[in-house]
Structure 1
Amino acid sequence: MKTTETKPLLSIKKRLIILTVAASALLIAISWSLIFAEAKHEIHEIYDARLSQSAKLLALSAPQLLQMPSKELERFYDAWYLSISSYAGQNDDVPTPYGHPYEQKLMFQFFNDSGEVLLRSTGAPATPLTTANQLGYHPITFKEQHWRSFLILVPEPANQHIYLVVAEHQDVRNELINEIALSTGIPQLLLVPCFAIAIILLVYYVMKPVGELQQALSKRTVHKLHAIHVTQPTVELSPLINQLNFLLHELDKAWAREKRFTHTAAHELKTPLAVLRLNAENALASDNPEDLHSDLAQILKGIERTDRLIQQLLMLTKVEGNQSFQYTRIDLMACLRESIASLAPLALKQQQTLSLDGPEQFPLDANDILLTSLFSNLIDNAIRYAGDGADITVQVTASNHDSVSIRVCDTGPAIPDAIRERIFEKFFRANTERGDGAGLGMSIIRDIAQIHGGEIQLEGNQSSPMNCFRVTLPTHRKPIEL
């Protein structure tokens, strides 16, 4: 037998925190990369501008410098650099009275077309760093180190061409670039845990109504189905809470109906079953054919009453359940004729007359089963309580283009005013000496009429010669909920 593995539950809070922190970290990294790239570009522009400016200043002073003996100039440069080195020691970040140690990372050369170096700074080689045909900026390698150079033609009045190349060690730029990268990257890197803490606190705060809803739902049981209330409702949760409250309310009503049905069935079936048991015991113990026939007749009558009670209970449960009934176009007159035909034997047994007055056909939108139950219960109620020899009439009249009126009248004893006020209550039984119902028929009739968008009312009063029930139904109407 294969067992399906259940996937681990995903936490919305954890996913939201992880994804938000990851997105924030990614955006910070992208921001830092853009800042670093822009800073690197600006540094190269500034240093290139300074490199070309230094070369031009040297080129303008070239006529005076080149007239001096090169060895004497080199001696001056060597003395300056030696003084800088001895004063600064191992620390190349301390400026000295003789200059800055960074000057050791700068060098220049004057050379002519024949490749002869006319003048050079301390540390520069005796051979040209580049060729004369490479004017402008060029990267060069000297002593396995990378330098940035700028070559310019010296404005010399003589016929020979003299070139000046100024070179700067690439470490000067890289050091500044690294400093900027660290100075901008470390603060942004520290923002990631700060963002994470802030996001965690915000997520837990924002998700607080969800946790409150979860706690409220965990406290609901089949015996505790009251509405859910959240102290901080949100736009997203309000529809969910409203729907949950609606479902809880419907579940509570269904649970109440089930308990009421169980209690009612147990209570209402207890008496007829006890009578059936007693009649069956009497029939078994009787030797007299007449007594036996009487007991069997009572058993049959009890079975009929029990069957009617069960049918009413089932119909009540179906109607109260607010089920989705299908509505079709039916013939009202055919439905009434069917109900009257099924109850005619009962009326003939009590020497009653049943009559139907109305058009040959009358179409309307309704549920055939429910509508048949409505009229069957209403006519059956009239037959049972009108008494022997009563006249029962069913009259159909079109009230207007949108509704129809069905009147069920009988000539039996007038219904007392006290009973009129309670006749549509569930389990209310009047004139028990003339009926064997459970007090559900009129309640079922009212509910079915309301389901069809109609109503039922008891016309007249005690002084009226007839008891008349008027049912008004729409001819074109969608089903409504009770």
Structure 2
Amino acid sequence: MKSIHRYLLFSLIAALLFGTLLISLFLYKKSKHEINELYDSNMQALASVINAQYLSFNAIHQPISGVGKHSQRKEIHREEEFLVQIWKLSGEYVYASHPLIDFPRQAQSGFFTTRHKQKKWRVYTLETDQGFIQISQPQTARNLYIGELAAGLIFPLLLQIPLIGAFIWIAVGKSLRPLQRVSTAIQSRSAVSLDHLPTESLPIEICPVIDELNHLLTRLGKALAMQQSFTADAAHELRTPLAALQLQVDTLARSQDDVERHTAVTALQRGIMRAGSLVNQLLTLARLGPEFSRQSDIVELNQIVRAEIEQHLDQAVARHIDLGFSAAEPIFLEAHAASLHIMLSNLIDNAIRYSPENGKVDIRTYYTDAEVVLEVQDNASPIGSQDRERIFERFYRGSSSNGVSGSGLGLAIVADIVQQHHACITVKTRCDVLGNTFIVSFPKLSLATTLI
């Protein structure tokens, strides 16, 4: 498991170390460049002074002013020292500030770097009318001073690492403290506590997460409430068919002849079918959750209508119902195909069962300016205004049921599917003939979605 605290600490401290390293490298290179330029300038100035003071090398018979006494050392270790050598044009060796150092005259003029006895030397040669002035310095002497200067500059940078590191440690720990408070608040809650988490005094970066979590708790609360309501309603509704089955079994057990037994068996079969239908409807209603509706795709509505009409042809024929369908063009919408099948199945089944024999059920699909419309028309008794407001409630069966068997869940399932598709459903009484019209209006696909 990854730790944000550890990741931030390691990342920031690594960035600090890397930045310090880059700055140190830059300071070292910059110092080296500046020091080399400074010493080169000194060498050039020293050669110019010597050339200005002595116009004739023949006059040299004592140490040159500004150079100092002859050194008897064989090495130059101090960075401020130079090896000064003078030759006449004839090649006669006139002067050396360090006579014991064997360094030959270089043929090249100006500044250059050469190697002598496995050591690098920085050399400046000035050619005059009287001879040659050569100023030399071993690179090791320069490097010594460059190292000391760079160490003086880099040491404060290295000293800042533990100081800034400690500050980073404290800052990261303090910044993540609100997350620890939120974590503690969540851990201290019981499994049934769905109260919103407080967002006061929280950083603005954490507030969106807490807000989304609170929205999730709200949705979860609604889902649990619906689940509890569904469980209570289902338990209540299952009592009636189970009690009826028990009575029918008792009647069958008390039957004394074949006629009574046949009647009891027939009633028991009808009861089992009603109970099975109720259980299937309950299972369908239970699985129509929010996640089920999000698995949407572009579907052709007329194909789904034709498939459901084929599934209900036998039912319609058995009751001599004329089952018709009219559609002017293909109808496309964004929906979950399986949900639409369930919705249409319940609407068609409801229309067939409540329409009288030799009746007619018509299904239409068409476009409007902003919607996709599905209509299911039946010849059932008109639904009153009072029932019309409640027919989509679970287990509600209106006064116009006229003894038709049902669980009161079919239209509740239709309403759930319609809501999940952000559509709406209305019921109107037909004006031309006796019956009702169920109208489902879906949002029309945008042009961009259609092109995709």
Taking structure 2 as the reference length, the TM-score comes to: 0.71
1:394 aligns with 2:361: yes
1:62 paired residue among 35, 54, 60: 54
Unaligned runs of 5+ in 2: 447-452
| 1:433-473 deviation line (CA, Å, top 9, x unaligned) | 9465433233234445556735232538xxx9997432124
Residue 422 of structure 1 aligns to a residue whose secondary structure is: coil
Residue 379 of structure 2 aligns to a residue whose secondary structure is: strand
The alpha-carbon distance between structure 1 residues 178 and 392, as it changes in their structure 2 partners (threshold 3 A), is: same
The answer as to whether partners of 2:351 and 2:377 remain within 8 angstroms in 1 is: no
The alpha-carbon distance between structure 1 residues 213 and 408, as it changes in their structure 2 partners (threshold 3 A), is: farther
The alpha-carbon distance between structure 1 residues 259 and 467, as it changes in their structure 2 partners (threshold 3 A), is: farther
| 1:150-172 deviation line (CA, Å, top 9, x unaligned) | 4444644xxxxx54444456565
AA of the residue aligned to 1:424: F
Unaligned runs of 5+ in 1: 1-8, 83-100, 157-161, 348-352, 384-389
The answer as to whether partners of 2:5 and 2:172 remain within 8 angstroms in 1 is: yes
Taking structure 1 as the reference length, the TM-score comes to: 0.67
1:13-412 equivalences in 2 (<5 Å)? 13-62=5-54, 67=59, 69-70=61-62, 105-106=81-82, 108-112=84-88, 117-121=93-97, 124-125=98-99, 129-131=103-105, 133=107, 135-137=109-111, 148-153=122-127, 155-156=129-130, 162-168=131-137, 173-204=142-173, 223-224=192-193, 230=199, 231-234=202-205, 238=208, 252=221, 254-319=223-288, 322-323=292-293, 324=295, 327-328=299-300, 329-330=302-303, 335=308, 339=312, 341-342=314-315, 345=318, 354=321, 367-381=340-354, 393-395=360-362, 403=373, 405-411=375-381
Residue 308 of structure 1 aligns to a residue whose secondary structure is: helix
AA of the residue aligned to 2:343: L
AA of the residue aligned to 1:371: L
Q: Which shows bigger deviation, 431-440 or 39-48?
A: 431-440
Query: What's the counterpart of residue 426 of structure 2?
Result: 456
Query: What's the counterpart of residue 393 of structure 2?
Result: 425
AA of the residue aligned to 1:232: P
| Larger Rg computed on CA atoms | 1
Identical residues among aligned pairs (%): 24
The alpha-carbon distance between structure 1 residues 294 and 222, as it changes in their structure 2 partners (threshold 3 A), is: farther
**Cα distance, 1:371 vs. partner?**
0.8
AA of the residue aligned to 2:348: F
The answer as to whether partners of 1:410 and 1:466 remain within 8 angstroms in 2 is: no
Query: What's the counterpart of residue 94 of structure 1?
Result: none
Root-mean-square deviation over aligned CA pairs: 4.9
Q: Which shows bigger deviation, 168-177 or 267-276?
A: 168-177
AA of the residue aligned to 2:203: Q
Distance 1:185 1:137 in 2: 30
Distance 2:296 2:80 in 1: 97
Distance 1:104 1:46 in 2: 11
Query: How many residue pairs end up in the alignment?
Result: 424
AA of the residue aligned to 1:280: V
| 1:185-217 deviation line (CA, Å, top 9, x unaligned) | 112222333443444455456656665665566
Distance 1:29 1:257 in 2: 62
